[in-house]
Structure 1
Amino acid sequence: MPRAVSGQGTGWSGTASPGECRGGAEGGAATGSGAAESGAGSGGAGTGGSPAPGARLGTGQGTALLLGGVLGPGVLALPHLAAAAAGPASIVAWAALLALSVPVGLTFAAMGGRFPDGGGAATFAARAFGPRTAAVTGWWFYFAIPVGVPAGAMIGAGYVASALGLGGTGAVALTCGLLAAAFAANHAGLRFSGGAQLLLAALLAALLVAAVAAALPAVRPGNFTPFAPHGWEGVARAAGVLFFAFVGWEAASHLSAEFADPRRHLVRATVLTLAVVGVLYLGLAVATVGVLGPRAATSPVPLALLLQEGAGSLAGPVTAGAAVLLSFGAINTYIAGGARLGAALARDGALPAPLARGAAPGQVPHRSLALLAVLSGALTVAAVTSGIGLDPLMRATSACLAAVTAVGVAAAARLLSGTGRRIAVVATAFTAVLLAACGPYLLVPAGLAAGGMLISRGGRR
């Protein structure tokens, strides 16, 4: 059994409340060897579910941040890629992934409500598997941010530049502008960035609903035949591509301690996000296939074509607006979660101690944000100057996030009981399959795991 933590425990060690997880060896709580266990850390909210001082997020802002993490810029291109892989049967892949994302989202909501802390999935890993696994899990997410955030900004900027005819130079400028705006919003505080994202999420949802509604009258039944031209193997390939549209729950787990009442608000925000994403994704998938037909598999800008059906000459500016909203929402959520994770990692010895400032709920982790900004800027410059394509950046990021998700839901399967545990087991099986599909890109999280173990070992000494 772990030793009791004096004061407010961190999420990486300490005792879990009875009834929330199994005690002793069965619960797998971390045996305290980090600084947090000795009482040095004070940023977490170790006793699950109680409102954290200074935390201000409610259901509305929480839903907006979750939507930003899940409903990212990938939706601009993924309908085309899925249709190319499976034809009209790509709708089946969309529906299957939506159904399977429900246990993943609910599992992270349940764990975040019980163990609210900036460490997110790393906190869950510490309680289930110990501090080394926690450090590795934290490194996977934290160092995926400087890779994935520029990639998301590049996707949105490229879409805007194409819609408005700005060219390559304009795309680079927009990429830098999106990154600068997201980091500035987070330095201003989560209340500001969460409020801004609530407005942006509402505008984005209205825009996508309008696009689908305007295009639906043009749906032609003949576009759904043949339904599966590439067989069910094509549906499997489409599901592999669409995985990029269903990550994001692990990012929101790092914001759990920022909710005024994590048990209620985080679960409500997750359920609302699942409902909104389900309606938007399925509506977009059906409209893309039914309206565009064979063009869905050949055009890289299906949303622009859909908007042309209802918006006409305004399709370009409207598409550009959608791209900006999608991109900013995603990178804002990941930066917010990553910055708080970095402070929690430093608090518990897995990153240099100076980064720990701002780890407490309600505070702004300026130093962790600054490090992420420097790393993201450096990778953006390297990607632009060397001509690195989006594909390797997205796949490397997805491999890291899939690894984080796998550990998070596996920890839940060990710590939760009853219905929560059964849901977590289903989520674990699902993420294990997706993790295996990452192939050689698993070398990226493997390298980060080695670094995380070395640094955390040094921090404990």
Structure 2
Amino acid sequence: MTVQQTSLPASERPDVRRLGIGGGTALCAGAVLGPGVLTLPSLAAAAAGPASILAWVVLLAMCVPVAAAFAALGARFPDGGGVATYVHRAIGPRAAAVVGWWFYGAVPIGVVSAAWIGGKYVAEAAGWGDIGAAGVAGVVLAGSLVSNAVGLRMSGRVQLLLGGLLAAVLLCAVLAAAPHVSAGHFTPFLPGGWSSVGSAASVLFFAFAGWEAASHLSGEFADPARDLPRVTRRTLAVVTVLYLGLAVTTIGALGPAAADTETPLTELLAHSVGAAARPVAAAAALFLTFGAVNSYLAGASRLGAALGRDGAAPRWMAKGGAPGEVPRRSLAVLGGAAVLLGGAAGFGGADLDLLMRATATCLAAVTLAGLAAALVLLPRRTPLWCGACASALLTVAVLAFSGRLLVIPVALACAAFCFLTLRRAVHRGIIR
């Protein structure tokens, strides 16, 4: 999962000028691969059994035109604002503000989900149970909030290292589990009916957000029109191999047990290598989730400050958004929301599946907004435009399976529109 930002001046952009194909591929693959993949195979298996593989395949197929559309938009409009920039150009500033609110609102849910994943892996290895998992998740969240509040940021190299570590761990798990795959574990293939595939897709969308990352980096390439398509193709290849390999081996090696664990990577490694793999998987999960939570909060806090600066959020949130400063007010809003959500989850008000589905719903709404902008900005009736149209329809279908969770992006959109309307009324002197 990546965090969307509104347009930034050149002085605020990361210092990654002349980004190469290799570095760009690593950054984009790291944006798509996230800590959610550490638990999503089991959540998808619980929703649809072996047929969850179909959900992986469908979403991977949808990713091709989505990634191509964002790469094309990035090549045409190189800017750090990504989806918000395209929506602003295609639909207008109010719609762009809604996209910002969707991202900002998704981050507290997403960081709680990520911290919870790390807690589950550590607790499973140590035998601490749910209370221990909640405690570890709380430490991850608190540590990330403190590090951001005092201005400590992870370097781009560290983030690349963590992304590479995740890819390496996933590949090792797939290769180690492959010899243990059994054809008998794929029957019955569709125990929950076709609707279960849609339910699996709605939670798996968490693992497919992040394709707009290429558009964020568009201005950092020497030749975006030439480099972005290459980076996109390589990222697609990496993600396809890892995701399909993980989906097939989770079902084929673990069988029905795949649906009964929240730490499928640990089970795959333990099933193939032995019990010694459990602390290794736990340590890797802890580092990966801390890195992800820290990055999410760092980006989202600046997003909130940018929204305040641009009048799309309360002005007081803009404080600390200048280069070299720490947007502590925006960070405090994110931290407060995350603590409340984490407390509710810890006391049984929400489980990991629900948290990840809620995050995926907001991210799917953002993806749909980006595709809508692509349909306006890209040349019509071309293969790329038709692919974006098909992906938009598929994203709508995925959102439909979110059910009552759709209230989250709807509520955020209403809040954004109400705030903008109120601010406009105050500005005109209608309300004093």
TM, length-normalised to structure 2: 0.82
Asked if residue 409 in structure 1 is aligned to residue 409 in structure 2, the reply is no
Gaps of 5+ in 2: 428-432
Asked if residue 444 in structure 1 is aligned to residue 404 in structure 2, the reply is no
Which of the residues 5, 8, 32 maps onto 1:43? 8
8 A contact 1:97–1:239 mirrored in 2? yes
Q: Check 1:318–1:336 CA distance in 2 against 1; reply closer, same or farther (3 A cut).
A: same
Asked if residue 372 in structure 1 is aligned to residue 372 in structure 2, the reply is no
Which of the residues 206, 227, 230 maps onto 1:244? 206
CA distance in 2, matches of 1:239, 1:426: 16
1:55, distance to aligned residue in structure 2 (A): 3.3
**In the alignment, what sits opposite 2:387?**
423
CA distance in 2, matches of 1:83, 1:389: 16
Higher mean C-alpha displacement, 202-211 vs 337-346:
337-346
Amino acid of the residue matched to residue 196 of structure 1? V
Asked if residue 56 in structure 1 is aligned to residue 16 in structure 2, the reply is yes
Higher mean C-alpha displacement, 290-299 vs 395-404:
290-299
Asked if residue 91 in structure 1 is aligned to residue 53 in structure 2, the reply is yes
1:415, distance to aligned residue in structure 2 (A): 0.8
1:257, distance to aligned residue in structure 2 (A): 7.1
**In the alignment, what sits opposite 2:279?**
317
1:416-436 Cα offsets, whole Å, 9 max, x none, are 124543332232222111122
8 A contact 2:202–2:357 mirrored in 1? no
8 A contact 1:113–1:256 mirrored in 2? no
CA distance in 2, matches of 1:419, 1:261: 26
Q: Check 1:161–1:298 CA distance in 2 against 1; reply closer, same or farther (3 A cut).
A: closer
Which of the residues 189, 204, 213 maps onto 2:166? 204
8 A contact 2:148–2:298 mirrored in 1? yes
Amino acid of the residue matched to residue 115 of structure 2? A
CA distance in 2, matches of 1:446, 1:351: 17
1:128, distance to aligned residue in structure 2 (A): 1.0
CA distance in 1, matches of 2:353, 2:45: 18
SS in structure 1 at match of 2:308: helix
1:119-149 Cα offsets, whole Å, 9 max, x none, are 4322222111111111112111112211221
SS in structure 1 at match of 2:276: helix
Q: Check 1:185–1:276 CA distance in 2 against 1; reply closer, same or farther (3 A cut).
A: farther
Q: How many equivalent residue pairs?
A: 415
Amino acid of the residue matched to residue 291 of structure 1? A
CA distance in 1, matches of 2:275, 2:302: 43
Q: Check 1:153–1:61 CA distance in 2 against 1; reply closer, same or farther (3 A cut).
A: farther
CA distance in 2, matches of 1:321, 1:162: 11
8 A contact 2:87–2:369 mirrored in 1? yes
**In the alignment, what sits opposite 1:34?**
none
Gaps of 5+ in 1: 1-10, 13-41, 46-50
SS in structure 1 at match of 2:155: helix
**Equivalent residues in 2 for 1:260-409 (5 A)?**
263=224, 267-356=229-318, 366-367=327-328, 368-385=330-347, 387-409=349-371
8 A contact 2:115–2:293 mirrored in 1? yes
Q: Using the aligned pairs only, state the percent identity.
A: 52
CA distance in 2, matches of 1:455, 1:257: 31
CA distance in 2, matches of 1:128, 1:329: 34
Q: Check 1:101–1:326 CA distance in 2 against 1; reply closer, same or farther (3 A cut).
A: farther
8 A contact 1:138–1:341 mirrored in 2? yes
Q: Check 1:358–1:268 CA distance in 2 against 1; reply closer, same or farther (3 A cut).
A: farther
1:314-334 Cα offsets, whole Å, 9 max, x none, are 121122134224423543453
Asked if residue 134 in structure 1 is aligned to residue 96 in structure 2, the reply is yes
1:385, distance to aligned residue in structure 2 (A): 5.0
1:453, distance to aligned residue in structure 2 (A): 1.4
Q: Check 1:207–1:380 CA distance in 2 against 1; reply closer, same or farther (3 A cut).
A: same
Amino acid of the residue matched to residue 388 of structure 2? A
1:348-395 Cα offsets, whole Å, 9 max, x none, are 2101334446767x7666344454334333433454356433344333
TM, length-normalised to structure 1: 0.78
Amino acid of the residue matched to residue 300 of structure 2? G
**Equivalent residues in 2 for 1:153-172 (5 A)?**
153-172=115-134
CA distance in 2, matches of 1:426, 1:297: 31
1:267, distance to aligned residue in structure 2 (A): 5.0
1:312, distance to aligned residue in structure 2 (A): 0.9
**In the alignment, what sits opposite 1:454?**
418
